[in-house]
Amino acid sequence: MTVEHAPFSAFVAARQHTNTLIVQPRMGFSDPAVMRRGLLAVRAAGVPAVGTVTLDSFTRQGEHDRAAMAREADVELNGYALVAMGEERTSRMLAGIGGPDFPVQVRHGSPRPEQIFRTMLAAGVEATEGGPVSYCLPYSRVPLRESIRAWSQATRLLARQADQGVRCHLETFGGCMLGQLCPPSLLIAISVLECLFFAEHGITSMSASYAQQYCPEQDAEALGALRLLCAEYLPGVNWHVVLYTFMGLYPQSPGGARELLRQSARLAVRTGTERLIVKTVAEAHRIPTIEENVEALLLAHRTAEAEQLTPEPADGRGTEVYQQSRTLIDAVLALAPSVAKALPIAFERGVLDVPYCLHPDNRNEARCALGPDGRLEWCETGRMPLQAAARHRGPTSLEALLADLEFHRRRLDPLPR
């Protein structure tokens, strides 16, 4: 059957022609009335935006009974309890909001997402995100092989919607592994590998992610490499790139928080990135309000508009980031005839190894170093087929590691008097 209904990818494609940056919050509220007001506020902001329904921690871990009990007791959760709310109540919450000019995406964090996807689809939402690695290793103790089986079933469920004329969109979270202190080459490799996993299970509309790190020049190289690798490995797939404003320890001052958001918007424009997930002034302290989310969207949009640049993504084939990323991708693909089979083997053998990630299926032998200019480089590569940078030894104490994590706070927050 010909697939005619692909609202998310069509929305992005329409703005690619005018080099217009799409902005998106990470917004989620447990009260359906507040969640609806938030979506309406984002839609009314007057900027090219995607609406977000971010789910709560109970729902992410499949603890839907606990989410339901919390809502019955009027306990505020840190997101929307999609499964506990059910498709009918969610459909009413979303009624009249989403459409060709304002797609809505469900963001969740689950290593076992099938029930979330079923409820989401029944409520009329076709776009979501995550991945079998990126929503397993950092967020759960679920065995990686179990997450991969669950994601295989859930991804096929999304792909089967094409039989009804609906093309679902799936965004990999692979470019945001652990949020911080993970060199770009590994982020890009996991992002591309998860996209290949999606394609292997029938998804034809997807986005590849990357999280802003510490050095704008290195981030630009990384985004250029990601774009090149997607073009090389994903022929016939409708894809775009999404950048996340910094996912680590966020500046605590309003001025520092706004400046880091501005920098991510400039990076997105400079690299031709299609979509930006924003952060707010409240990130270091609490769940942001609707107003703070809208303020962040407007600031990112105004910053992007002020750049007045024609994106010129660099040809990154000669960069270290590109070469390392491709080495990792090819090494994983050589392990098995499918990505689904290759991914667990890669982590078992240490071909992929996320630094500082304590999941039992991650070897945690790799280490990285943050240079004075903010560049992230490997100082110990474990069993990955990469060369470590000899000029760095990496953090030698807990205090040094914490200092690296606070790089942006030290740079952007005012010094105490």
Could you report the per-residue pLDDT of 238-247, keeping only the tens digit for each?
A: 999 999 999 9
CA distance 197 to 402: 34
Average pLDDT over residues 179-200: 94
Looking at 4-18, 84-98, 114-128, which range is the least confident one? 4-18
Q: What local confidence, expressed as pLDDT, does residue 5 receive? A: 47
Which of 332, 320, 316, 350 lies closest to 193 in space, CA to CA?
332
In sequence order, the β-bridge partners of residue 376 are: 370
Amino acid in the structure at residue 89: R
Q: What local confidence, expressed as pLDDT, does residue 2 receive? A: 38
Contact 144, 179 (CB under 8 A): no
Has residue 102 got a pLDDT over 60?
yes
pLDDT (tens digit, 9 = 90+) per residue, 309-334? Answer: 665 655 667 799 999 999 999 999 99
Q: What local confidence, expressed as pLDDT, does residue 416 receive? A: 63
Q: What local confidence, expressed as pLDDT, does residue 399 receive? A: 78
Q: What local confidence, expressed as pLDDT, does residue 313 receive? A: 55
pLDDT (tens digit, 9 = 90+) per residue, 265-291? Answer: 999 999 999 999 999 999 888 899 999
pLDDT (tens digit, 9 = 90+) per residue, 351-409? Answer: 999 999 999 999 999 999 888 888 999 999 999 999 877 555 555 567 777 888 888 88
CA distance 254 to 262: 12
Fold exhibited by the domain 7-307: TIM Barrel (3.20.20)
Residue that wins the pLDDT comparison between 208 and 396:
208
Residues recorded for the chain: 417
CA distance 305 to 269: 9
Has residue 179 got a pLDDT over 90?
no
Give Cα 24 distance to the centre of its chain: 12
Average pLDDT over residues 176-180: 78
Average pLDDT over residues 23-34: 96
Amino acid in the structure at residue 100: P
Percent of the chain scoring above 70 in pLDDT:
94
Q: How many CB atoms lie within 10 A of CB 207?
A: 26
Q: How many CB atoms lie within 10 A of CB 62?
A: 20
Domains of the chain by residue range: 7-307, 324-409
Average pLDDT over residues 116-139: 96
CA distance 282 to 206: 30
Report strand pairing: 238-244 vs 275-277.
parallel
Percent of the chain scoring above 90 in pLDDT:
77
CA distance 197 to 342: 10
Three-state SS at 229: helix
CA distance 102 to 44: 10
Which of 325, 321, 378, 382 lies closest to 351 in space, CA to CA?
382
For helices 32-43 and 82-94, give the axis angle rounded to 10 degrees: 50
Q: How many CA atoms lie within 13 A of 183 on its CB side?
A: 31
Q: What local confidence, expressed as pLDDT, does residue 391 receive? A: 58
In sequence order, the β-bridge partners of residue 106 are: 53, 128
Three-state SS at 416: coil
Q: What local confidence, expressed as pLDDT, does residue 393 receive? A: 57
Question: Whole-number mean pLDDT of the chain?
Answer: 91
Q: What local confidence, expressed as pLDDT, does residue 1 receive? A: 31
Contact 105, 98 (CB under 8 A): no
Sheet holding 238-244, edge to edge: 22-24, 275-277, 238-244, 205-211, 169-172, 127-130, 104-107, 51-54
| pTM for the predicted model, two decimal places | 0.94
CA distance 235 to 230: 8
Q: What local confidence, expressed as pLDDT, does residue 243 receive? A: 98
Farthest CA pair distance, the chain:
67
Give Cα 286 distance to the centre of its chain: 20
